[in-house]
């Protein structure tokens, strides 16, 4: 395990507008928002957002040096600016893997650096294992391997650390449905009644947000839950994917890790992350002999906590100099 860098890396200045953007039709139902910023001739990097329904807002452009990197962001099916919002039809991990390839081919990129956070780490690993020849390496933050244990921890186990948040997550449901929370939430977020979908989505997002930070930010949680676009995307697609085991076989990603563990990998993990626990990050690190693990001692799940943010930008800066993630 590498020691933490003593230099504190800062986020890059805002990029007000992308160089170009558009909507990519990937099937009869879904259109994906995509954008490109930074150096058009630079090293391509694609960012895979969390959720699955969170989306990649403009602030995510600031993780990379725009003079060096060709920065590709997109919103996955049903997320943020992609349409239809929160649509579960034809929305699986396999569809998303195909979408990433469709986007890469459309942009004329041969290989790219693949980055992701939370659910984005799940998707990054699944994509890499399907298309290792298209990957230069990986930067992964807040590892979530999509296993049954991790899903059960999110839905039930976090009550040990966040009892009030979990009580609020459960108590609005009828008592007879509280024994299977995923089933209860999925029934509601796929309801024909928009008000029912919206109520369930808001409770899901508030629970997730209440457990994400080392230092709780109640105003931030309320703000996220009040944003209808983010709330509907995350609150509907998250439980839908959880109910379907992320459309993966249990522990599939580690079983197939030999397809990509010859490539460079940086893992940045909040040491007190209660949503994507350090156990998953350590398992991945042990399965990836050349990987660099930065366990941030004073951080939870959010990429914007100072130590995690610095660790991410450090990884991208080191990759500029060395082509991997070991300090020169």
The Cα 44–Cα 17 span in angstroms is: 18
Q: Cβ–Cβ contacts within 10 Å for residue 25, how many? A: 12
118 is catalytic: yes
Strands 69-74 and 31-38 turn out to be antiparallel
Q: Which of 72, 5, 9 is nearest to 38 (CA)?
A: 72
Active-site choice (37, 82, 118, 310): 118
Active-site choice (82, 301, 302, 324): 301
301 is catalytic: yes
The angle subtended at Cα 236 by Cα 244 and Cα 88, nearest 5°, is 60
- Backbone φ and ψ of 117, nearest 5°: -130, 135
The Cα 139–Cα 9 span in angstroms is: 16
Q: Which residue has the tokens 């004073």?
A: 298
Active-site choice (75, 99, 238, 273): 273
Strands 20-25 and 31-38 turn out to be antiparallel
Which tokens in the block code for residue 182?
Answer: 């995923």
Q: Cβ–Cβ contacts within 10 Å for residue 92, how many? A: 17
The Cα 23–Cα 33 span in angstroms is: 5
Q: Cβ–Cβ contacts within 10 Å for residue 269, how many? A: 28
Dihedral sign, Cα of residue 216, residue 217, residue 223, residue 226: positive
41 three-class SS? coil
Active site members: 118, 273, 301
């Amino acid at each position: 395990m590498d020691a933490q860098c003593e230099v504190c890396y800062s986020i890059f200045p805002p990029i007000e507008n992308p160089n170009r953007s558009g909507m990519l039709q990937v099937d009869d139902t879904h259109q994906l928002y995509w954008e490109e910023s930074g150096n058009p001739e630079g090293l391509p990097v694609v960012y895979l957002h969390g959720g699955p329904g969170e989306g990649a807002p403009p602030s995510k452009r600031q993780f990379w040096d725009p003079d060096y990197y060709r920065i590709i962001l997109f919103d996955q099916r049903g997320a943020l600016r992609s349409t239809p919002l929160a649509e579960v039809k034809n929305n699986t991990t396999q569809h998303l893997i195909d979408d990433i390839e469709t986007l890469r081919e459309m942009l004329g990129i041969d290989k790219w650096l693949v980055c992701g956070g939370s659910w984005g780490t799940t998707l990054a690993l699944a994509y890499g294992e399907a298309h290792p020849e298209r990957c230069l390496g990986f930067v992964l933050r807040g590892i979530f391997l999509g296993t049954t244990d991790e899903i059960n921890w999110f839905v039930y186990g976090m009550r040990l650390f966040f009892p009030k948040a979990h009580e609020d997550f459960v108590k609005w449901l009828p008592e007879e449905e509280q024994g299977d929370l995923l089933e209860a939430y999925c029934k509601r977020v796929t309801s024909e009644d928009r008000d029912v979908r919206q109520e369930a989505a808001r409770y899901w997002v508030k629970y997730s947000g209440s457990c994400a930070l080392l230092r709780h930010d109640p105003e931030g949680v309320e703000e996220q839950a009040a944003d209808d676009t983010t709330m509907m995307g995350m609150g509907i697609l998250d439980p839908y994917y959880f109910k379907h085991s992320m459309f993966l076989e249990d522990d599939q990603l580690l079983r197939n890790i030999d397809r990509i563990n010859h490539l460079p990998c940086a893992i940045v993990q909040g040491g007190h992350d209660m949503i994507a626990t350090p156990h998953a990050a350590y398992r991945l690190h042990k399965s990836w002999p050349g990987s660099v693990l930065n366990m941030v001692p004073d951080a939870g799940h959010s990429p914007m906590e100072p130590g995690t943010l610095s660790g991410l930008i450090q990884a991208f800066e080191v990759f500029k100099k060395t082509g991997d993630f070991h300090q020169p």
